[in-house]
Amino acid sequence: MIRADEKLRQMSDKVFVEAEPPSDRSRPLEWRRSINSLNVTVTSLVIKEHHSVNECDFFSNSMLSSGLKPANEPDDPEYEKEIIKPKTELRTIISSRIDLSKIRDALYRTVEVDKEEKIYSVAIARGYLDLSINDDPPRKEAAGIFAKGAQNGFAWIEDDEDKLTISVSIGKEVFKHLIFEIKSGRVSKLELSIAIDSFSYEVDDFLREWYHARDLIIHGRMAHAAIENFSIVSNEFLQKNGDPNTLNQLDSDDSVDLEHQFEPEYQPQIYQPQINNVIDPEFLKSIKTALWAIAIILFCIWWNGKK
């Protein structure tokens, strides 16, 4: 975990360094920008359908290219009027809240301390992750970490609550399939890998084992994010195989008969051949006769040699 009094200096768009490195170190350690993957397990999913009926817009005389204006409106070209106009639309999203203590890695955001010196402190995301999955269309042009045609999204940390929010798209076809699976009641959990444009500590990059927790920093309030992949774990799978996380928590003294509880439905029978199925008895009899003949010949040679 990053110290609460840690200060970072921005050297470029890709590198932060320690603002106050120890005097016994030859150089300040760096935080380097890259695409880092955040692994998230979602066990509670909510489908939200947002219906838009009307929307608020504004009217301005200066926006009318013809110079015409509605009756009873003043001649002032800067005159603006709010109006309600129709907009019938349905937007569906899949939402979930995940306790951040259940996510291995910690996310921070930079907070500006000295604009001229480019000095920043960091604030950690606390509480929970507010995850939103949608079917927004892919990007029409490249931007940030996204190539043209990629499914895009964003990650940000709220100022007032310090909660982490991630909104990502998975495309219309995949989204429809996920909605169908959720409504069927088959989904037990989702396991997601989310790519976030963030900064990671160079010490972690070189020395950290893959399963160790790490600290990631979002520069400013928002960063590009995208789902790399996700897996649907069905209720049928857990009922047949059990949850590996639950099995790891069982002690050796538990009275649960794991061998019986998770016995596979089908166990192939291994065929053990009998000797009679491999070697013909008549063949064994002929070998026995040949051995006796050899023994008699050898005895005769030995007897003649004695004479």
Beta partners for residue 98, in sequence order: 129
Q: How far apart are CA 61 and CA 69, in angstroms?
A: 6
Asked if residue 150 lies in contact with residue 143, where contact means CB atoms within 8 angstroms, the answer is no
pLDDT at 263 > cutoff 60: no
Phi, psi of 203, deg, nearest 5: -65, -45
Does the structure show a pLDDT above 80 at 32?
yes
DSSP helix, strand, coil percent of the chain (3-state; round to 5): 25, 40, 35
Going by C-alpha positions, the residue among 300, 171, 151 that lies closest to residue 226 is: 151
- What distance in Å separates the CA atoms of residue 6 and residue 19, rounded to the nearest whole number? 8
Q: Are strands 119-124 and 30-42 parallel, antiparallel or unpaired?
A: unpaired
Name the average pLDDT for the chain. 82
Report how far residue 307's alpha carbon sits from residue 303's, in angstroms, rounded to the nearest whole number.
7
Q: What are phi and psi of 206, to 5 degrees?
A: -95, -35
Spatial distance between the Cα atoms of 107 and 88, rounded to a whole number of angstroms: 38
Per-residue pLDDT for 63 more than 90? no
| Helices and strands (H, E) in the chain, number of each type | 6, 13
Q: Which residue has the tokens 């050796």?
A: 252
**pLDDT above 60 (res 105):** yes
Give the gyration radius of the chain's Cα atoms. 36
Q: What percent of the chain has pLDDT over 70?
A: 76
Q: Are 174 and 14 in contact (CB under 8 A)?
A: no
Q: How far apart (Å, rounded) are the C-alpha atoms in residues 15 and 29?
A: 10
Q: How confident is the model at residue 290 (pLDDT cuts 50, 70, 90)?
A: confident
Is the Cβ–Cβ distance between 122 and 2 less than 8 Å? yes
Instruction: Provide the percentage of residues in the chain whose pLDDT is more than 90.
Output: 58
CA proximity to 153, closest of 97, 194, 94: 194
HSE (side-chain half, CA atoms, 13 Å) at 195: 17
pTM value?
Answer: 0.70
Give the pLDDT confidence of 118-145 residue by residue, as tens digits.
999 999 999 999 999 999 999 999 988 8
In 3D space, the residue among 53, 52, 60 whose CA is nearest the CA of residue 82 turns out to be: 60
Question: At which residue do the structure tokens 């931007």 appear?
Answer: 143
The answer, yes or no, to whether residue 73 has pLDDT greater than 50, is yes
Q: Where does the pLDDT of residue 178 fall: very low under 50, low under 70, confident under 90, or very high at 90 and above?
A: very high
Answer positive or negative: Cα dihedral of 39, 177, 224, 124: negative
